[in-house]
Structure 1
């Protein structure tokens, strides 16, 4: 009997004590990512400590967590190690740690290594999908309630839950999308236990979309048509054509309703869209002091700095100095010096770590996207396709988010990308073992 089959048998018979613990940790991470100040760090750190303790405990029994990995897992671990290694090398050569939210770096370059360790651990002791579903439920509904309270009760211009409104809006949108995918996955099952959970996931999807609208975030919504198209292609062979049409009509009706709701309120959404158009016109006329103008200046500065040092880039800390020199020379607006990043993961990475850094960024995005897409194309099982689709949507969404915001230099952005993709991957691989054994729980 293979090691995977032995593990599966242990799970069925309740002899896998870490399963419940890891399910709880997945729930805590997804739920608290944007709801509480330390949620993005507390759950991964607790999971890391438990994983380390668990590995020590099982090592004495002659069992190795590495034995449970396959070629796909190792490829992903290579991508995580490469991204972290080049970033750590950049810190070592410059002596400067990255600055994130409120001036805190929080050892961001080491987080991919923690994610890799948790991937190894969770593959050996896989959580249940229930933790994922409940996490999306609490996270989506919580984000929606928080945003509604801040905007309609406190009168805030943009809902942000005490953080940067951009990652709050982007991650709320992503939680809403993932809740909708989970709902469709559950509806595709021949037997649908816990109907309340399916209904709650629908509510979480609407709440997540609403939170993103109320945050006033604009860039993340560019991905919505692409995500909707990917979802349609993934589910068109699962549901009858009529049901898919009803789902599509319902989805776009909700979005149109949210647009109408926010457009008719005096809470800044319509003003922000109009301001974006005005800022672009002003930039073309030579005024780069607006929000959009500063962002375009930062992209221009990043592109010029990359061309000056294309192989290894300028490095942590040195990039800011070079950019400030351009501001002093009048090449870009002086206010670009107020920011610690260039508002684009691609441009920021290229300017800091050159082509070498760009290659690791492509691996960090591309390898998970390729692996999830591979399983999505190959499998006809509805639940496998649902998990693969969820993972693919996470990577696609973060690529889009990273076009106009350095999400991977934000503490919640980096934690969210690593944690959500790793959790989804482990659930997918576990389900593949379950399906392969003939058990379609």
Structure 2
């Protein structure tokens, strides 16, 4: 029994490390999650209780399996495609091995909060070093500025939810750590200059404040909202953060695009989106396939439909348009499914546990993952990057397992209270 407990403690520790190392170490997203997958081999000798898996777990597993096999089918149908394209959907399959292990043995779910806190704090240190000491125009960690910024924005939000959890559990030290993590993660994102992730900031904050209205007093809620608005205004006002400059560039790029200059950051995105729409119109059901997309864009550029500078970009810089252009309506349907089913399951738990923050906090963190990814995916194809896939798939798995264990603990407590 002691070996089993130590084994599972390591599994949850490695799960937390998936967050910690995700963007500050080269290929760091593979380390924690890879170790969890390797340890899932323990399913063969630890005698897990598979009776713990219920219909909701099966629906969660079904969504991952169907999405992965839909991507395999797309690669198979793409004449001229490369076998390496199955790498990213295979990571959804690996995540399911981790899920089966985490659901059926034991838990140390609270460590997930500390993993997000450490990721955010370390990322902020890296971002500050890259911006203010090395002199990079945009912090990028060990990936690229967009992935670094978006993942840290997500980690910042998860830290914010952890502060709500620790507040409800009356753990002041951990609450302070969580608030530091939230500020660090969001600040790291701002220092990355990744504007796409910034769109989520006000929207997600409104959602979180609304979800916490029954937990926080009106006074605390008003102070929290006011503090958030004040800090945001200060960050925008300070030139050294680069936020003001990035927003100004976006406005200028749009103005240039309207006047006919497409060769800007925003303008080229518009050109990529236009190319994706043309590809979808050419093959609306199955898409043109990844292997044919560059030739298709070359033809569009030769005909003066898009700017030639947009041709070398591998993706459409939009998850929905990426799916439509290369995998058609069928590909889009499966992409939406991998967002909607996990979101539905987490939101269901939020409705079910309206006042129980021991369960609700993990469900809220889980719900934010597809919500944030949907927002991030408006300006970058998040699911087309290894970091994006790993953080998405494994974060969902970890928090779903945490929700299920929280439920089981509440059921045990309820049964004890019912005894005479």
> Is structure 2 residue 176 aligned with structure 1 residue 199?
yes
| Contact 1:26–1:127 under 8 Å retained in 2 | no
| Contact 2:253–2:264 under 8 Å retained in 1 | yes
Larger CA deviation: 425-434 vs 329-338:
329-338
2-structure distance, mates of 1:40, 1:136: 13
1-structure distance, mates of 2:266, 2:301: 17
1-structure distance, mates of 2:342, 2:312: 34
In the TM superposition, 1:267-278 aligns within 5 A as 268-278=242-252
SS of residue paired to 2:413 = coil
Compared with structure 1, are the counterparts of its residues 271 and 258 closer, same or farther at alpha carbon in structure 2 (3 Å cutoff)?
closer
| Contact 2:67–2:335 under 8 Å retained in 1 | yes
| Contact 1:22–1:126 under 8 Å retained in 2 | no
Q: Which residue of 1 aligns with 2:109?
A: 129
* CA deviation profile, 1:329-353 (whole Å, cap 9, x unmatched): 2210101122110000000011111
Q: Which residue of 1 aligns with 2:385?
A: 410
2:369 to 394, 401, 406: 394
Q: Which residue of 2 aligns with 1:432?
A: 407
Larger CA deviation: 399-408 vs 14-23:
14-23
What displacement does 1:257 show? 2.6
> Is structure 2 residue 132 aligned with structure 1 residue 152?
yes
Gap runs ≥5 in structure 1 = 1-9, 100-104
* CA deviation profile, 1:289-328 (whole Å, cap 9, x unmatched): 1111110011111112112211111112112221222122
RMSD: 2.0
Q: Give the total of aligned pairs.
A: 413
> Is structure 2 residue 70 aligned with structure 1 residue 90?
no
What displacement does 1:83 show? 1.2
2:100 to 110, 120, 131: 120
2:89 to 109, 112, 125: 109
| Contact 2:146–2:192 under 8 Å retained in 1 | yes
Q: Which residue of 1 aligns with 2:305?
A: 331
Compared with structure 1, are the counterparts of its residues 69 and 320 closer, same or farther at alpha carbon in structure 2 (3 Å cutoff)?
farther
In the TM superposition, 1:25-424 aligns within 5 A as 25-52=14-41, 54-58=42-46, 63=47, 66-94=50-78, 95-97=80-82, 107-189=87-169, 191-192=170-171, 195-261=172-238, 264-265=239-240, 268-379=242-353, 380-424=355-399
Larger CA deviation: 355-364 vs 247-256:
247-256
| Contact 2:236–2:243 under 8 Å retained in 1 | no
What displacement does 1:16 show? 3.3
1-structure distance, mates of 2:342, 2:160: 21
Larger CA deviation: 138-147 vs 382-391:
382-391
What displacement does 1:167 show? 1.0
Gap runs ≥5 in structure 2 = none
- Report the TM-score, using the length of structure 2 for normalisation: 0.93
Q: Which residue of 2 aligns with 1:6?
A: none
Compared with structure 1, are the counterparts of its residues 407 and 126 closer, same or farther at alpha carbon in structure 2 (3 Å cutoff)?
farther
Compared with structure 1, are the counterparts of its residues 269 and 428 closer, same or farther at alpha carbon in structure 2 (3 Å cutoff)?
same
| Contact 1:98–1:316 under 8 Å retained in 2 | no
SS of residue paired to 1:129 = coil
What displacement does 1:410 show? 1.1
| Contact 1:123–1:430 under 8 Å retained in 2 | yes
- Report the TM-score, using the length of structure 1 for normalisation: 0.89
Q: Which residue of 2 aligns with 1:5?
A: none
| Contact 1:349–1:357 under 8 Å retained in 2 | yes
